[in-house]
Structures are given as C-alpha cells and as structure tokens.
Chains A and B, each alone.
Chain A
C-alpha cells in the first residue's frame, strides 16, 4: 500500500473551520479517524455518497470534523437513525463512529438489532474501556478490577466482548485491532467498507485522560504497551487454554461472510408484496 502523507489526507477530508478537534493529547480517536479516511481514500470512494452518523461521546464527535454529510445524534442511537437514512436512500454508504459505552450500554439494543437486521453500515467502534466524555466512569467493556470514577475500588461487573457479541448477532464482517495495528486496521476498514450488510471494526484506543490516569497508565505509550500485553492474535489464541486467555483480549478478523443486507432484503420484500397483491407478475 502506498501511504499518502497525513497532510494530504487532512487537507482533503477535514473541515478546516472546525479545527482544532476536542480530543486530548494522546487520544487514540484521531488515529482511528486517520485509518478510516485512508481506507476511504485508498478505495476512491465518493465523498458525497458517504454519510457519517454518531451518537454521543468523544468518539461520536468525529463526524463533525470531516467534510461529509453527518448526523450527530443522541447517545447510543446512531444506528437507529442510520436505518432511516439507509432505507430511504440505499445509494448512500453509512459509516457509524461510536464509543463502547454508546454502542454497548445505552445503545446496546439498537446495536444488536441493527446487526440482526444486517443493516448496511460500517461501524467504527472506539473501545477505550471507559466513558471518556463524561470523565472516566466505567463502561460495559471495562475489564474486571480496573478503575473508573463510578467504580473507584475496581470494576466488579463482567465486561462485554463487543466483537464477539457482533459475531453472535449475525454481522457480516467483524474485526478488532488496537490503534498500533496500523496496516491491519486500515485493511479491515477497507474490507468493511466494501461489504454489504453490517460490518464492524473495533479499535482498542487509548484514553489517557479518562481511563489511563486512573489505572496507572497516564500516557498513550503506556496504554499501548499494556494493549500489547493483554492482546492475543487470533491464530495464537486458538491454541491457548481458557485459563490462559483469562483477562486477555483476542484481536484479529473474527468473521467475514456474505449474508444479504437489509436493503437487499427490503427490496425483495417490495417485490414479494406486489406479487402477492397481484400488482406485478
């Protein structure tokens, strides 16, 4: 892959009048945004045929900084809004940028149902193990024992594995990387953008301010080192015992299949309806 300079990507896709971004120094959201824009650029997609949607949270502010049509909605509900956009205009490609709390807590129900329907959308999920925007509370992804302002003595609940949840709910493509898996990340987003139906790329992304600071990892490099320790590539994980995988997070490409997407299913449904009513042969 030929890598364009970041300046080129920035100048082509960001809204200059919205800069600077709201993101803290060391935040991983910018990196993930860059992967996504590089994927779009590499594929040569038409900027006017992509709509970005998001809910509420730091991650969800991304659509505001890119020069595309964008809908910044209510907390957790981006995919429900996206359903209306996509079914009204199937020519639009939809990218949903969301946080882990946004997608899996308040938006959990919308998330699993969008996947069940196989809504044609590419979800870029920023998993920073915390609620960044509201100041570092625990999220449904926070690993047991880690601290957040609402579990100052260490999380006592079990975390969600969002990627596995998406696989089980029926997504067409699911991959998970950390922000330092640069090439894999871009490639996964490219793959996701080219597929029909629901596609998800989850990124473990550093939030030094909301999360790291409370868990003795004040800087992004410290968090990235920790990701290196706790992540296990899928191929390796296959040969590991459940005890060995305890507390680890598997990264890689979990599913890649081609079930029909919601748009195609609905178009078939229209045909069936007209046929059943005798409107069409």
Chain B
C-alpha cells in the first residue's frame, strides 16, 4: 500500500492534518463533510489523500447529510469519518442518535470553537463537552475522546476508529481550534506499527439473522455488511434482535437500550484512559482535559516547586466517565480544581464523581484563550 504522505518518521504538522493522516492509516476510506472553521483543514487533507488511496472524499450539502453519508458508508463496509465544529455538530445530533440506535461504527471529529451559535469561529473553546455526551435525544451512550497535543490528536484518531469498530458505536473526537491549527512534531508510524481493529462480522447465517442480538454475550452484535446476502433491515425505531421494529413493547426497548449503554459501561476499563502526575502525595488535584491539560500540567509542576503538594489528572476519555476513580481521588485530596474553557461542563462530571468527598472548584475561562499556568496557580494558592 502506497501512502500520500511519508510514514515511519516524524513530521511537523497541524492537528487537523494529523487527524486526516491518522484516519487514513487507521483504514478510513470514506470521508463526507461540510466546510467549517476550524475543522476545514481535516476535510482539505482528506480531499487530497482519499482518491490516492482509492477512498472517497465528498462535500455534502450540510452536516446532517455528512453524518448520514458516513453511516451509509459504514453499513456498506467502510471505515468512515466526518469532521465539523460547533454549529455543524449541533446539526449532526439527530443522526448521531441514529448511529447509536443502529450501532453503526463511525468517527466524528468536533473541533470546538467558541459558541453558542456561530460564536468565535477561529478561537478555541471546550464548550461542547455536554453536547458531545448528551447532544442527541433519548437514553444513550457513546465514546468521547479528548486529545491535548497534535501527537495525541493523531494517536487518538486511530484509537477512535478502533473503539468504534470494536464496540459498534459512534466515537467523537473532541479537539479544539488551538490543537487544530497548532504545529507540532508528530511521529507518523509505519502501517505495521499500528494496531487496527475491524468490526466483528457474522460467523454464520444464524449470527447474521441477529444483527442486533448478543450472540457472543459481550453486548456487541456482529455487523452484517450490506450486499453480502444477509438481507438485513436496519431501523432507527426501537427494534428487536432481528431488527424488526417493535415500538410499543416496553421490554424490547428496555432490552435494546440497556444493552447499548451496557456494552460501553462494562468495558470502561478498556475504553477509559487517563494520565496522572504527582497524585501519590497530593493534597490538591487538578483535573483537566484537552488543550487545558498542558497549562494544568505546567501549573502542577510549578506548584510543586513552590512546595505545594499538587497532583494532576488528565482525562483522555471523557465518556464513558470514570466516576469511581474520581471519587477515590476525592477521598485522598482536600480539593480538586477543574480548569476548563467554558462555564463548567467537565466540572459537573468531576463534582458528581467526587461525591462530596472533596471540595471541587471550577476555574472557568471563556473567550478563546487557554488558561495560563499562572492563572491556575493563583487560584490554587489563593
């Protein structure tokens, strides 16, 4: 396989570019999108690369159509992705729900910018955390990953495809304008160095007849690809194991939705990753995600130089959320600070996790600039 970019060495590239290259190395062969700042460069890179690897890159009429197209592509057998920013992400919510309900593996990148509405197109924010987790209607679950560097944007994109395929679910990669446009050194691995996962296919006719069942007991049904003679019917309506609509039977709805949520909940240990620094002896902890993690990390190091026993928890996965882990942390520290570029979204999750065992304080910043380490330090030392 020939790649339209150099592999097996480092390159100095932007976050958006890193996501596009990672997607191709992860096996993505269908991209549909609609231009929006600060996500357009992902599309532009995909437009350049996709035809060269015999993949599809197509500009749809809007974001609603973009998600729809990648869901269709996924049922036809492709690993598929779209990318957008706030307003486009809002438009996608209806079909994100459809992807959850039909257990369609897809990857959606949301490069956050200031909102609500068209807000601040060129400036970073973390205002879509709740939208990523809870944006679509109904009871549901999906996976949300949050990188803090360009290298992570690359690595997490590959992970996003693998998790989507493994658990037959949409995965949201939540980045921001800062990571999108910042250039950093990124190691672009050789394809052999990358572990890629592909969805489970039905092993036989019997499994294919249960496209929404649980033949393996792991909550993840094998996915019958269109055109292979299985004659699968896929609907966003509540359906039974065969895919037949059953909209007024409470027990069918309950069984379906609980399985969809449970297949991620029971695999939390595999899905959730985080990093810590100095938490062993910490009195105060800082919890952050995405771009703010970098300031938070610097702040913790500087605090420790000043003799403050600070520790850091960096969340790479924001959903599913590890409430138990945060509670254990809260039992050990006096106070948890949550710096984030919004009016308090991660804060809600952390506070719920802390469960009253420690005080949780929000360090909110909006307007488009990332917290400086000093801004965090000042709040911690009072």
Contacts and interface: CB of A to CB of B under 8 A. Distances in A.
Contacts of A150: none
Contacts of B233: 15, 63-64, 69-70, 72
B346 interface: no
Given A88-B77, A110-B61, A74 B236 contact: yes
Nearest to B226: A69
A1 interface: no
Contacts of A88: 29-30, 56, 72-73, 76-78, 80
Interface residues of B, number: 46
Which among A68, A71, A73, A92 has the greatest number of chain B C-beta atoms within 10 A? Answer: A71
Contacts of B71: 73, 81, 84
B165 to A, nearest CB: 15
Interface in B222-245: 226-237, 242, 244-245
Contact of B95 (A47, A64, A74, A86): A74
A18 to B, nearest CB: 6
Interface stretch (B35-43, B62-70, B150-158, B198-206): B62-70
A17 B51 contact: no
Interface residues of A, number: 42
A84 B72 contact: yes
A84 B230 contact: no
A87 B56 CA distance: 7
Interface in A164-208: none
A48 interface: yes
Contacts of A109: 61-62, 65
Nearest to A87: B56
A88 B227 CA distance: 11
Given A64-B233, A72-B235, A109-B62, A51 B227 contact: yes
A38 interface: no
A225 interface: no
Contacts of B78: 84, 88
A71 B78 CA distance: 16
Contact of A83 (B65, B74, B94, B228): B65
Contact of A67 (B72, B80, B231, B237): B231
B52 A80 contact: no
Given A17-B242, A64-B245, 15 more contacts: A48-B229, A51-B227, A53-B72, A64-B244, A71-B234, A82-B72, A83-B60, A84-B32, A84-B80, A87-B56, A109-B62, A110-B65, A113-B61, A270-B51, A277-B4
14 contacts: A64-B233, A73-B236, A74-B236, A80-B60, A80-B72, A81-B72, A83-B69, A84-B70, A84-B73, A84-B74, A87-B58, A91-B227, A110-B68, A274-B51
